[in-house]
Structure 1
Amino acid sequence: MDLIVLSSPEAIEKEAQIVNVLFEEGLSVFHCRKPQWSADQVAELIQGIALPYRSQITIHQHHKLAEELGLQRLHYTEANRKTVSQTELSLHRQKDITLSTSLHQLSDYNTTAQQFDYVFYGPVFNSISKQGYTAVVSGDFQLPPRQSTQAKRIGLGGIDETNIHQAAAYGFEGVAVLGTLWTQPQKAVQRFRSLKRITDTY
């Protein structure tokens, strides 16, 4: 099962150093999501992450930085996905850029499944980092089987070590974590290790 880490939207002390350790611990993909940051701020954070891990970094904002920083992964927010042209997505595909997006309505999956490599869907559980951001799935929720040409489904929202098993039972092929790591950054590495031990069993 894939384990993806999203950045805190806020500044975290020694964030780049922590992310480097997470990669050393086996992190496969880091999503840099800083909605309020300038391009220079995002670039500074990414430049603090060791060069060998650049191919594993996805940016949510300031996509033009990708070429400058040698990144091969782009995320489209739900709002941006609705305005991006098919031509732009096709050009990224031709360059072997990995594309992801976010869904809040599962009905949108059928229109995005062929265009993106994976999609975030949630919140699967009540959010840890956003008060009032409650789960959109119920106990009997089950994702339909995925065709090989369709985007992977990654569960997002409220994920911690107590409910990864339930996310897998729902049919998610991966999970993305944010609050469980960044609400207490000093424990981020320790918590990541615990999460990865669980996801590695799938």
Structure 2
Amino acid sequence: MRIITLDSFVYNEIYILRRLLEWPDIYVHIRKPNLAEVDFVRYLSAFTLCERRRLVPHQHHAVARDHGVERIHLSTRLRKGYNGLLPNNCYSSTSTHSWDEFNKLPPIFSAAFVGPVFPSISKKGYGISKQIPCSGRTNFATLAIALGGIQASSIADLRHADFDDIALCGALWQANAPLLEAKRCYAQLPLSNQPLRNDPYEKLQ
């Protein structure tokens, strides 16, 4: 299960993320586009070196790697300017907005968000007319992560769909009890009767 931070800060955010990182198969995407590099380093320092192995920053990739983070996420815009060069043994993920876009990804990307699957919770009005169908996948070299409007009450609709995993954002941070909402979602995984397909990058560890 992927956890995505909000652009802004939430009360007890670091505490919540560190508790979630105690669970198997949890990865935290740090999306803080307005955070200066020095503040980003301070943010990373709140996590242990072991916890940083499951952090996926969306910005400040070079400095993140200097502080023990081995994963990066490229937005759609950054991916389009991607020059084909990534550090050795570097996990990379990206964002896509249709199965066609996902299916055309090069194998360098270990995982990709596909969405919005449901109308967004954190971005009101987004995804209402652009929802991704549950099937249409031909690329099985990259993990497909369902994104957009995912919450405990909607996961059942993704059973046996073409997704490997889910990402939580708005449902988690807008919940009265974020850890309880995360637990309810986590308890419904995997999405199929098959075991959760392992992150291919873990094989390199």
TM-score tier, shorter chain, comes to 0.7 to 0.9
Matched residue, 1:111: 104
8 A contact 2:5–2:30 mirrored in 1: yes
Q: TM-score of the superposition, structure 1-length normalised?
A: 0.86
Matched residue, 1:72: 70
Q: Flag the structure with more relative contact order, 1 or 2, with Cα contacts below 8 A and sequence separation at least 6.
A: 1
1:127 is displaced (CA, Å) by: 0.4
Indicate yes or no: 2:76 matched with 1:85: no
Measure the CA separation in 1 of the matches of 2:92 and 2:146.
16
Of all paired residues, the percent bearing the same amino acid is 26
Q: How does 1:42-191 map to 2 (within 5 A)?
A: 42-86=40-84, 88-89=85-86, 92=87, 95-135=88-128, 136-137=130-131, 141-147=134-140, 150-184=141-175, 187-191=177-181
1:175 is displaced (CA, Å) by: 0.5
Q: Deviations over 1:49-106 (max 9, x none)?
A: 23321100000011112222111100000100011101x23xx2xx211100001233
The runs of 4+ residues in structure 1 deviating greater than 6 Å are: none
Deviates more, 1:24-33 or 1:62-71: 24-33
Q: TM-score of the superposition, structure 2-length normalised?
A: 0.85
Measure the CA separation in 2 of the matches of 1:51 and 1:23.
12
The residue type equivalent to 1:180 in the other structure is A
More helix by proportion, 1 or 2? 1
Q: How many pairs align?
A: 191
Q: Deviations over 1:10-53 (max 9, x none)?
A: 11222211111111244521000011111122221221123321
Measure the CA separation in 1 of the matches of 2:157 and 2:38.
39
8 A contact 1:119–1:154 mirrored in 2: yes
8 A contact 1:75–1:101 mirrored in 2: yes
8 A contact 1:153–1:172 mirrored in 2: yes
Measure the CA separation in 1 of the matches of 2:134 and 2:21.
32
Measure the CA separation in 2 of the matches of 1:99 and 1:114.
10
1:200 is displaced (CA, Å) by: 4.5
8 A contact 2:58–2:73 mirrored in 1: yes
Q: What SS does structure 2 have at the residue aligned with 1:48?
A: coil
Measure the CA separation in 2 of the matches of 1:197 and 1:169.
16
1:160 is displaced (CA, Å) by: 0.4
RMSD: 1.9
8 A contact 2:102–2:114 mirrored in 1: no
Deviates more, 1:73-82 or 1:15-24: 15-24
